[in-house]
Structure 1
Amino acid sequence: MPVIVALFALFCAPSASAHGLFDGHLDERLPVLFSAVLLGAAWLAYIVGARRVRPHGWEAVWMHLAMLLAVLAVFGPIDDWAETSTSLHMVQHMLFMIVIAPLWALARPLPQWRAACGRWLQPVWNGVLRSGRYPVALAMLHGAMIWVWHTPSLYMLALENTWWHVVEHACFLFSAWLFWWSCLRANPQQVPHALMAMLLTLMHTGLLGALLTFGQAPFYGESRDLADQQLAGLLMWVPGGLVYLAGAGWITWRWLTRMWRRQHAGEARDPSVDNIV
């Protein structure tokens, strides 16, 4: 059913979209077709793997919701609108970084992907698992992707060249997924590092949002509206900051809950507690 919905979304995308699947010459469509194949393969692999390794709780719901949002963000009308509107371009980026990526982290798709792909991608899974031990390093990697792709030259390059547009999206999605996964799935020993990673990301994205908000000239070409750029900065600054704060709060709540459960379990096992008046 999720794949049917995704195909429906793809085929119903406006035919006039500059990055659409069915408009323009074949060489212009290749990057978009490549993106569609990658997303479709990842989604199908998850569905196949879920039959062998069943997801827990709401994990399957989070995964299908994230994939559907990814399809709509990449192939829906927002991608076309983002070419002329800085604020809508920011909406697309924020969907990747603070909606889809944390949903992927909550979904924990690695067991299903491993079950579907077998051993031939084992080095990739091992590398991803090892990288999750370093939340601050992944936050720095994700931060580098954010700042690099928001420099005027690369920002415009991604708008003018579809292949670079695909690379930009991949950098945001993959680095954000690793960042959120390492933070939201941090073990008790890694919680301080996860909170530091969240704080670091909150600070530098807020700074970039403030620069866009208070800029006195369009950063991405004179044809861009300054008020639209300022709105883009506010979107990164305020809603984005709230999401990172919510993530830090969830990590802290999860950590404290584990501590309370461990403490109560220790008191239940200690017979001397019953003798306290």
Structure 2
Amino acid sequence: MTTLFYWLDPWEPSPTVVIAVLVAAVLFARGARHARVSISRRIAFWIGLTGLYVALHTRLDYFFEHEFFMHRLQHLVLHHLGPFLIAWSYPGAALRAGVPFAWRQRWLRPAAKTRLARAIFGIVFNPVVAVALFVGLIYFWLLSPIHFKAMLDYRLYRVMNWSMAIDGLLFWWLVLDPRPAPPARLAPGRRILVVIAAIPPQILLGAYIFFTPHELYPIYSICGRAFTWITPMRDQQIGGLLLWIPGSMMSVIGALIALRHWLRLSARSRLRDERRVERGVPARLSGKKATAS
């Protein structure tokens, strides 16, 4: 038990992480009692949320700051696995139900209907922007000069980690949405294309890091490595492989889940309703015309 508390003790305490995780946990726990949330979805949500907390606020953060491959493992959880599991659990209904009804009526719904909110959602959930942000943030934070500064400045380090976690949540929420469009932002076929488009850049960057014959990130040698028995080049190669293989495989799994949603909606004739809405014909009205004929 003492060992467990030792590892749960944060290397660099952050009230923001604690508050964000607690708010999400309380809202989901409250809402899951009213919304219909299956056991598998609950398990996925709690594992994903726990993964984000462990990657952000435990003693493991020391190793994330002193080994490149551990840093890549951290971002694999923050940008891929944790947000993937949370989005896969589709917790939107439970989180909304967890907010007191009066707060939803007075604050959340009016805020979501403002022009600013609609504009922001329209930008971040645009498929081109979503792919560019998802891949671009990986490339940006792995630029050698940027990475060097981020690992030295704790404020920039936290911005880096939070940007990866938030972008991961937005991206996987867009891709793994099981609903037809609308109310989903993208049609099922486009969701598959979005996640597939994110695969080649990750493979290229991972392969580049793996095959580069010189040290790309000397900051870990300068500040001291957590595992002295791993050479700098081997550390870099393992980090490249983590981006190359597990990162790309998460995108493949996401594409398969999006394909499954597409087939399920097609089997239920929900895609026809999508096409009717796109043509400006309400689904119920179209159904009445079909019945009358």
TM-score scaled by length of structure 2: 0.73
Q: Does 1:170 align with 2:162?
A: yes
Instruction: Indicate yes or no: 2:187 matched with 1:195.
Output: no
Q: Report the counterpart of residue 213 of structure 2 in structure 1.
A: 216
Q: Does 1:69 align with 2:66?
A: no
State which of 169, 174, 178 in structure 2 corresponds to 1:182: 174
8 Å contact 2:67–2:220 — kept in the other structure?
A: no
Matching residue's letter, 2:247: G
* Residues 139 and 197, structure 1, Cα contact 8 Å, conserved in 2: yes
1:71-96 Cα shifts (integer Å, max 9, x gaps)? 21112333211112111110110011
Q: Does 1:255 align with 2:262?
A: yes
- Does residue 79 (structure 1) correspond to residue 61 (structure 2)? The answer is yes
The change in CA–CA distance for 1:176 and 1:63 in structure 2 (over 3 A counts) is: same
RMSD value over aligned CA atoms?
2.8
Q: Which residue does the alignment assign to 1:90? A: 72
Structure 1 residues 79 and 33: alpha-carbon distance in aligned structure 2, compared to 1, 3 A threshold: same
User: Are residues 222 and 106 of structure 1, via their aligned partners in 2, closer, same or farther at CA, if it must alter by over 3 Å?
Assistant: closer
With over 3 angstroms needed to count, the CA separation of the structure-2 counterparts of 1:49 and 1:256, relative to structure 1, is closer
Seen in structure 2, the aligned counterparts of structure 1 residues 174 and 14 have a Cα distance that, compared at 3 Å, is closer
| 1:254 shift after superposition | 2.6
Deviant stretches of 4+, over 6 Å: none
Query: Which whole-Å CA distance do the structure 2 matches of 1:193 and 1:36 have between them?
Result: 36
Identify which of 233, 237, 251 aligns with 1:244: 251
TM-score (structure 1 length as normaliser): 0.76
Greater Cα offset, 99-108 or 127-136: 127-136
Runs of at least 5 residues in structure 1 that lack an aligned partner in the other structure? 1-7, 22-31, 264-277
The code of the aligned residue for 1:67 comes to L
- Within the alignment, does 1:108 sit opposite 2:90 as a pair? yes
* Residues 1:138 and 1:124: Cα distance change in structure 2 (over 3 Å): farther
Name the CA distance, whole Å, in 2 between partners of 1:261 and 1:53.
23
1:139 corresponding residue in structure 2: 131
Match of residue 236 from structure 2: 229
Amino acid at match of 2:190: H
Q: Secondary structure at the match of 1:83?
A: helix
Conserved? CA contact 2:144–2:217, under 8 Å: yes
Query: Compared with structure 1, are the counterparts of its residues 107 and 253 closer, same or farther at alpha carbon in structure 2 (3 Å cutoff)?
Result: closer
Worse-matched range after superposition: 136-145 or 82-91: 136-145
Highest RCO, 1 vs 2 (Cα 8 Å, sep ≥ 6):
2
2:202 match: 205
State how far apart, in whole Å, the 1-side matches of 2:264 and 2:233 are: 46
